[in-house]
Amino acid sequence: MLQFLRKNQMAAGVLAIIRIYIGYQFLHAGFEKLTGGGFDASGFLKGAIAGAAGEHPAVQGWWAAFLEHIALPNAELFSFLVQWGEVLVGIALILGLFTNFATLMGLVMNFSFLFSGTVSTNGQMILLAFFVLVAGANAGKFGLDRYAMPFVHRVLEAKHPHRKNKAIA
């Protein structure tokens, strides 16, 4: 299965569709936040913190502590990071540019939303993103990674000729 995901041409096509779908979801969500008249994450953060109370909390105490002591006092920064993170991850996935990194950042955001007590489509997007991530370079084969990654590898080899670049392909 791993070889199929990483090497097969048909898998690359299916992965491109999955990648573009995930990218669209992120781009759409981020664009709505950017153009919706001022996105403010503080209400979401307060709701997540409140979700840590009760007998069966939806939010774990350690995550609520992070949200309360780090994220909420810096809600303006987190608002900026969420909206622009969603837009940039979306664009990168749609274009197939730095696919693995964009997928990893999308996973971080989706897990953050899940940890905060949301359900929505986050679980589905995490599952799909794992296929993209495991596929490695094949997930960006029908995208700009086809051109960008060989360039990045050449630059790295030129900068560090004594090292062999063994990036995950």
CA distance 31 to 92: 14
DSSP state of 145: H
Q: Is the pLDDT of residue 169 over 50?
A: no
Check: CB of residue 92 under 8 Å from CB of residue 102. yes
pTM over 0.85: yes
Cα distances (angstroms) measured from residue 47 to each of 37, 66, 72, 116, 145: 21, 14, 11, 8, 39
What DSSP assignment string belongs to 95-117? HTSSHHHHHHHHHHHHHHHHHTT
Q: Is the pLDDT of residue 132 over 70?
A: yes
Check: CB of residue 136 under 8 Å from CB of residue 8. no
Check: CB of residue 142 under 8 Å from CB of residue 12. yes
Check: CB of residue 99 under 8 Å from CB of residue 91. no
The domains of the chain are located at: 2-159
Q: Which secondary structure element, helix H or strand E, spans residue 68, and what is its range?
A: none
138-150 average pLDDT score: 93
61-81 average pLDDT score: 98
Band the pLDDT of 167: cuts 50, 70, 90: low
pLDDT in tens, 24-69: 999 999 999 999 888 999 999 999 999 999 999 999 999 999 999 9
